[in-house]
Amino acid sequence: MSMQDIKTEEKFMSHNAWFSIFMGVTLLIISVYPMLKQTSAPLLFIGGTAFLGSFFMFVIRGGFTWKLGYRLTYKDEFLNTIDTIAYKHVVLGLLFSMGAIFLLSDELALNVSHSMMATFYLALMCLIYGVSILWQSRD
C-alpha cells in the first residue's frame, strides 16, 4: 500500500469522524428540543436543514471521491484497529447509557417518547464514534 493511499484513507477517516460528530449533535438537538419547547414542528425543518447542510459540506468540501464509497474495512491495518476500537467504544457507551436510562426510567416515562429515546441513542452512538476516532488518531 502506497503512502498516498494511506494518507487518503486517513483523510477519509478524519472526515468520517467529523461527519459523525456533526450528525450526532444534530440528532441530539432533534431528540432534546421537543422536551424543552414542548413542540416538534419547527424541528423537522431545522434538523433536516442542519443535517443536509453538514452532509453537503463534507461531501463537497471534504474531498470525498466516488471510489471512497462505504467500506467495512480500511486497507491500512492501523486504521482498521482504530475503527474497531471506536466501535467497541460505541457499544460500551450505548450499554452504559441504556443502564442509566433504565435507572432513571420512572422520571423519564412521562416526558420522553420512544422516538425521542431512539434518536438520543443514535446521537450518542454517532458522537462516541466520532470522538473516539478523533481521539485515537490525534498526532
Using the structure block, give the residue that is written with the C-alpha cell 456533526: 22
For residues 93 and 96, what is the distance between their CA atoms, to the nearest angstrom? Answer: 5
Over residues 109-133, the pLDDT tens digits come to 677 777 788 888 889 999 999 999 9
Instruction: For the full predicted model, state whether its pTM sits above 0.75.
Output: yes
For residues 122 and 128, what is the distance between their CA atoms, to the nearest angstrom? Answer: 10
Domain map (residue ranges) of the chain:
3-136
For residues 32 and 48, what is the distance between their CA atoms, to the nearest angstrom? Answer: 15
As a dihedral over the C-alpha atoms of residue 131, residue 23, residue 11, residue 70, rounded to 10 degrees, the angle is: 120
